[in-house]
Amino acid sequence: MFMKKIIYILLAAAMVSCSVDNTLTADSVIPKDNEQNDSQQEVLNPPNPLDTYIQERFTKPYNIRILYRFVEKETTRSWVLTPTKYDKAVQFASVFNYLFIEPYVEVTSKEFMKEHSFNTLILIGENAYHATRIPMRGLATNGVKIHMMNINNIRPNSIFYLNDNALHTLYHETAHTWHQSVDYPTDYKRISGTDYKSNSWANSWTGTDYLKAGFISAYGSKDSDEDFVEMISRYITYFNATQDCGCATEDTTLDTNGDGFDDALYTAWKRSFTNYNNGASVASYDSARVWEEQLELGNAKIRSTEQYTGKEKLEQKMKMIRRYLTTTWNINLDVLRNKIRERYPYVAGRTLSGQVVPRKDFSDLTNN
């Protein structure tokens, strides 16, 4: 299996610092005496409630490890890393179970999750920094080991924050395990075949021109594998007017722009997104985007010589993805997406329409 690393670059980031506490408790995220042997660590760091939760919920049934203490052999000295706070690791583990494990298992099976998922999540407290001061939000190797950054700043009841900073990466990496087991059709790779940019993807596009080339994100233009998994992960995390709005109409007096949706109802639906963000603006979040709007931005040809618009290419890709997931893995992407998103109100404490509902307390392992 070839080595693959994903680096998400931030436009700006604050300096990070690390404090030292010479008293290490059972909850400490730093192994005592720098011991790296698992059996030695178990003696030096007796299992706490989080360790037990991880073992029982993830490791035993699915062979997924979550490492929140520093284990040197699992990280690299090339990056400046900050420990994860125990309470924040608890919140992440609870969110991971609620918005990733449970809906995926419900749609597939426990055995499928065990066979087709990454096996190690390494939690890092802040965004990591290279010696050159380049910040990093996430790092994945081979689709099986993922470093999750900035856990100390997790906002467990903000679905937009969770989608942009954690869940998108988890959905992305899981999709890699699928195509690494059984590849998607070769024809998929031909749809945007001449426009893949390899490692120059970040500097290859002006604005959203990547959509006109048939890519749902700029990173998706790196190669066909990243294209494939970005389509899946962003389809899950983006809003979808066809499925979510309930405002489709054939009445042209109500649909003046011809997009198939009642103008007034559509506008009200988009305004309601803030109910998932405690009433605050969601404009800065990728996961506040609407799938159909993104496709419409690509409704032009990247070159006049192209046969298809970017929108048409994206639609072709999604059709192939649906067929692949159904025939290869018996996964209905819309069912999976809906199983995940029907949990959103209990994360935010409100429905999309604004009705108050019980909000999950992700700091309490006994209720998660």
pLDDT tens digits for range 338-364: 999 999 999 999 999 999 999 999 999
What φ, ψ does residue 28 adopt, rounded to 5°?
-60, 140
Reported confidence tier of residue 38, pLDDT bands at 50, 70, 90: low
Angle subtended at Cα 362 by Cα 360 and Cα 366, rounded to the nearest 5 degrees: 95
**Predicted TM-score of the model (pTM):** 0.86
In angstroms, the Cα distances linking 266 to 100, 243, 294, 337, 361 are 29, 12, 15, 21, 32
Whether 8 is in a domain gets the answer no
What are the pLDDT digits (tens) for 79-133?
667 889 999 999 999 999 999 999 999 999 999 999 999 999 999 998 776 555 5
Whether the predicted pLDDT of 37 surpasses 90: no
C-alpha 180/C-alpha 143 separation (Å) is 9
Do 194 and 314 sit in the same domain of this protein? Answer: yes
Do 279 and 254 sit in the same domain of this protein? Answer: yes
- Look at residue 127 in the predicted model and tell me its pLDDT: 79
Whether 309 is in a domain gets the answer yes
C-alpha 222/C-alpha 195 separation (Å) is 9
Do 204 and 345 sit in the same domain of this protein? Answer: yes
Q: Which of 17-21, 62-66, 326-330, 345-349 has the lowest mean pLDDT?
A: 17-21
The residue range of the domain holding 72 is 49-154
Do 205 and 313 sit in the same domain of this protein? Answer: yes
Do 174 and 58 sit in the same domain of this protein? Answer: no
Q: Which residues pair with 128 in a beta bridge?
A: 136
Q: What is the CATH number of the domain that holds 80?
A: 3.40.390.70
- Look at residue 147 in the predicted model and tell me its pLDDT: 87
C-alpha 340/C-alpha 101 separation (Å) is 10
- Look at residue 137 in the predicted model and tell me its pLDDT: 57
Q: What is the CATH number of the domain that holds 275?
A: 3.40.390
- Look at residue 24 in the predicted model and tell me its pLDDT: 42
Do 137 and 65 sit in the same domain of this protein? Answer: yes
What are the pLDDT digits (tens) for 264-323?
999 999 999 999 999 999 999 999 999 999 999 999 999 999 999 999 999 999 999 999
What are the pLDDT digits (tens) for 174-212?
999 999 999 999 999 999 999 999 999 999 999 999 999
- Look at residue 25 in the predicted model and tell me its pLDDT: 45
- Look at residue 82 in the predicted model and tell me its pLDDT: 81
- According to DSSP, the β-strands at 120-123 and 135-136 are unpaired
C-alpha 261/C-alpha 251 separation (Å) is 9
Do 127 and 260 sit in the same domain of this protein? Answer: no
Do 127 and 248 sit in the same domain of this protein? Answer: no
Reported confidence tier of residue 13, pLDDT bands at 50, 70, 90: very low
Do 160 and 130 sit in the same domain of this protein? Answer: no
Whether 196 is in a domain gets the answer yes
Domain count, the chain: 2
Do 215 and 256 sit in the same domain of this protein? Answer: yes
Do 284 and 211 sit in the same domain of this protein? Answer: yes
Last residue of one domain, picked from the residues 154, 175, 191? 154
Last residue of one domain, picked from the residues 154, 183, 211? 154
Last residue of one domain, picked from the residues 154, 181, 215? 154
For the purposes of burial, counting CB atoms within 10 Å of the CB of 346, is it exposed (0-12), middle (13-18) or buried (19 or more)?
middle
What are the pLDDT digits (tens) for 128-179?
765 555 556 566 666 678 889 899 999 999 999 999 999 999 999 999 999 9
- Look at residue 335 in the predicted model and tell me its pLDDT: 98
Per the model's pLDDT, the better-predicted residue between 130 and 50 turns out to be: 50
- Look at residue 80 in the predicted model and tell me its pLDDT: 62
What are the pLDDT digits (tens) for 230-246?
999 999 999 999 999 99
Do 135 and 168 sit in the same domain of this protein? Answer: no
- For 257, residues 6+ apart whose C-beta sits below 8 A from its C-beta are 263
